[in-house]
Amino acid sequence: MNDMNWLAIYPEILLLVMGCVVALADLWVTDEQRRPTYWLTQLTLVVVGGMHFAYFDAGVTTYAMQNMVVADPMGHLLAGFACLATLITLVYARPYAASRDMLKGELFILSLFSLLGINVMLSANNFLVGFLLYGLSMMYGATGSLTIPEVFDVISKGIPNKSVLVFGTVFVVAGLAFKLGAAPFHMWVPDVYQGAPTAVTLLIGGAPKLAAFAITVRLLVEGMIGLAVDWQQMLVVLSVMSLLIGNLAAIAQSNLKRMLAYSTIANMGFMLLGMTSGVVNDNTLSASNAYSAAMFYAVTYVLTTLGTFGMIILLSRQGHEAEEIKDLAGLAKRSPWFALVMAIFMFSLAGLPPTVGFYAKLAVLQALVSTGLPFYLWLAGFAVVVSLIGAFYYLRVVKVMFFDAPTDMAPLAAPGDVRFVMTLNGAAVLVFGLLPSGLLELCKVAIRQALAT
C-alpha cells in the first residue's frame, strides 16, 4: 500500500498534461473562436470523464501517492460528473466569453486546472487542504496524524484530548461551510455570484460543489465518524440557518444571479440536512441512506444550477446581460421552448414533482424521517415549511416568464450548440424526475463503497 500506484491517478495526470498542452497550443491559435483549443479541451474532458466512469464501474478502491490519495468509486463518480459539468459549462461559456472579448485560452486552461483541483479534492486522503488549516492543526495536535484513516483510528480508539479535538472539528466544519456557502459563512456567495461574469459564476457554482460535498464526506464521515454526534449538531445549525437566510433573502432579490446565489445557500442547507441523520443513537445503520441522499442532492443540484446560469448566458447577447429577473419578462412569447425549459429548472429547484429536485428533497426528508426521532421529524417539518417560502420566489420567475408581457422582443442570439445542450439539460432534469431510480442507485453504491473502506 505504500507505493505510488500511478494507475489510480491516471485521469489526474492526463488532466495535468492536457492542461499544459492546451496552454502551449493556445499560443499558436489565431482563430477568434479558439476552436482548436476548445475542442481539445472538450475532448480531454470527455476522455477524463470516461476514465472516471470506467473506474467507478470497476468499483475498486485504491490508495496512491503513499496514501495521500484515495481513489474510490464515490470519488470517481463525482469526478465523472464534475467533468461533465465542466464540459457543459464550457459549451455555455464559449459564445458568452467570445462576445465579451473574454475568450482567451486561459478560460480553457483555468477550467482544466480548476477541474484538476476538484479531482484532487475528491480524492484527497490527507488533511492538508489549506483552507481548513487552523482546525486541522488542532486535529493534528489531538491525534498526531493528518492521514484521514489514521485520524479515524485514533478517534475510534478513544479520544486523547476531546476538547481540543471538538474545537478542531468546529474549525473543520466552518471551513467546509465556507466552501459550500452555507450560512453563516455565506457572505461571499451572493457578491461573487452576482459580480462575476456569468460564465465564471457557472465555473464556481457548478462542479466545485461536487468537490465540496466529497470533501465533507471525506473529512467528517470517513475521518471523524466517531465525532458524528458533535459535527451533526453543528451541521443542523448550519443547515437551519442556511435554509432560513437563503430562502428569505432570495425573496427580496431583483437580480436573478443574486437570487440564485441565495437559492444556492438554501440548497446547500438542504443538502447538509441529509448529512445530519447518518449516525443516530451511536448507530450507523442509516449512514449510507443519509449520505447517499445528500450525494444525490448535490449531483442533481449541480445539474439544475448549470441549467439556470446557462439560461442567463443563453438569453444574454452582446451588450446585454439578461441577469435581472425582469429581463425574463414574456419569455414564453419570445421563446416558448426555453421558457418551458427554464420553468422546469425553477420547479425542480422548488422541489415539485415530476422534476428531479423533488426526489432530491424526498431522499433527504426520507433520511430524516427514517430516524424515527421527534427531533428529526421536526427538522423535516421545518425543511418543508421553508421550501414553501422557496417555492414563492421560484414561482415568481415562472410568473415573469409566462404571465408578463415581453419588454424586449429581440430574438435569442445563442448559437445552436448552446441551445442543444440547454435542451438536453432541461430534458435531463425532467427525465431524472420521471425515472430517478438509476441515479439514486449509483449514489447509493458509491456511498456504500466509500463507507466500507
Partner 1 sequence: MLLSLAIFLPIVCGGLLLAIGRDDQKHAVRWLALVAAVASFLVTLPLIHLFDTTTAAMQFVENQPWIERFNINYHLGVDGISMWFVPLTAFITVIVVISAWEVIETRVNQYMGAFLILSGLMVGVFSALDGMLFYVFFEATLIPMYIIIGVWGGANRVYAAFKFFLYTLAGSLLMLVALLYLYYQCNLVNGVGSFDIQTWHKLPLSGTVQTYLFFAFLAAFSVKVPMWPVHTWLPDAHVEAPTGGSVVLAAIMLKLGCYGFLRFSLPIAPDAAHQWSWLIIALSLIAVVYIGLVALVQKDMKKLVAYSSIAHMGFVTLGFFIFNELGVSGGLVQMIAHGFVSGAMFLCIGVLYDRVHSREIAAYGGVVNTMPKFAAFAVFFGMANCGLPATAGFVGEWLVILGTVQFNFWLGGVAATALVFGAAYTLWMIKRVYFGDIANDDVRALTDINSREFLMLALLAVATLYMGLYPKPFTDVMHESVTELLKHVALSKIPA
Query: Given the rule CB under 8 A, which of 34-42, 218-226, 353-361, 410-418 is the region that contacts partner 1?
Result: 353-361
Q: Which residues pair with 147 in a beta bridge?
A: 126
C-alpha cell at 210: 461536487
Of the pair 128, 388, the CB lying nearest partner 1 is at: 388
Options 436, 449, 450, 451; binder of partner 1; rule CB under 8 A: 436
Options 74, 204, 352, 414; binder of partner 1; rule CB under 8 A: 352
Per rule CB under 8 A, is residue 179 in the interface with partner 1?
no
The least distance separating partner 1 from the CB of residue 262, rounded to whole angstroms, comes to 19
Q: How many CA atoms lie within 13 A of 47 on its CB side?
A: 15
| Burial zone of 253 (CB within 10 Å; 0-12 exposed, 13-18 middle, 19+ buried) | buried
Per rule CB under 8 A, is residue 353 in the interface with partner 1?
yes
Options 25, 170, 369, 413; binder of partner 1; rule CB under 8 A: 369
Of the pair 4, 427, the CB lying nearest partner 1 is at: 427
Options 96, 185, 193, 359; binder of partner 1; rule CB under 8 A: 359
Per rule CB under 8 A, is residue 77 in the interface with partner 1?
no
Q: Which residues pair with 62 in a beta bridge?
A: 71
Of the pair 108, 402, the CB lying nearest partner 1 is at: 402
Helix (H) or strand (E) holding 62: strand 62-64
Options 163, 233, 407, 437; binder of partner 1; rule CB under 8 A: 437
Q: What is the dihedral of CA 164, 182, 295, 391, to 10 degrees?
A: 150
Helices (DSSP H) in 124-255: which residue ranges? 133-143, 148-157, 162-180, 188-195, 198-205, 207-216, 224, 228-251
Per rule CB under 8 A, is residue 444 in the interface with partner 1?
yes
CA distance 215 to 199: 25
The least distance separating partner 1 from the CB of residue 248, rounded to whole angstroms, comes to 15
Helix (H) or strand (E) holding 441: helix 437-452
Per rule CB under 8 A, is residue 358 in the interface with partner 1?
yes
C-alpha cell at 236: 443542523
The least distance separating partner 1 from the CB of residue 359, rounded to whole angstroms, comes to 7
3-state class (DSSP) for residue 293: helix
For 130: left if phi > 0, alpha if psi spans -120 to 50, otherwise beta; the answer is: left
Helices (DSSP H) in 252-355: which residue ranges? 256-275, 287-315, 331-334, 336-350
Task: Give the x/- contact pattern for partner 1 in 380-409, rule: CB under 8 A.
Answer: xx--xx-xx--xx--x--xx--xx------
- Calculate Rg over the CA atoms of the chain: 22
CA distance 46 to 4: 26
The dihedrals phi and psi of 63, each to the nearest 5 degrees, come to -110, 145
Of the pair 45, 363, the CB lying nearest partner 1 is at: 363
CA distance 205 to 192: 10
The least distance separating partner 1 from the CB of residue 404, rounded to whole angstroms, comes to 9
Query: Given the rule CB under 8 A, which of 45-53, 85-93, 123-131, 374-382 is the region that contacts partner 1?
Result: 374-382
Of the pair 187, 377, the CB lying nearest partner 1 is at: 377
Decide if 265 contacts 181 (C-beta within 8 A): yes
Per rule CB under 8 A, is residue 334 in the interface with partner 1?
no
Query: Given the rule CB under 8 A, which of 28-36, 51-59, 235-243, 363-371 is the region that contacts partner 1?
Result: 363-371
Of the pair 104, 399, the CB lying nearest partner 1 is at: 399
The least distance separating partner 1 from the CB of residue 396, rounded to whole angstroms, comes to 8
Q: What is the dihedral of CA 9, 10, 12, 14, to 10 degrees?
A: 170
Per rule CB under 8 A, is residue 326 in the interface with partner 1?
no
Of the pair 58, 384, the CB lying nearest partner 1 is at: 384
Of the pair 210, 400, the CB lying nearest partner 1 is at: 400
Per rule CB under 8 A, is residue 441 in the interface with partner 1?
yes
Query: Given the rule CB under 8 A, which of 22-30, 154-162, 298-306, 435-443 is the region that contacts partner 1?
Result: 435-443
Decide if 443 contacts 296 (C-beta within 8 A): yes
Query: Given the rule CB under 8 A, which of 263-271, 333-341, 406-414, 417-425 is the region that contacts partner 1?
Result: 333-341
Cα-Cα-Cα-Cα dihedral sign, residues 69, 73, 74, 78: positive
Summarize as ranges the residues that interact with partner 1 (CB under 8 A).
332-333, 336, 340, 347, 352-354, 358-359, 362-363, 365-366, 369-370, 372, 377, 380-381, 384-385, 387-388, 391-392, 395, 398-399, 402-403, 435-437, 440-441, 444
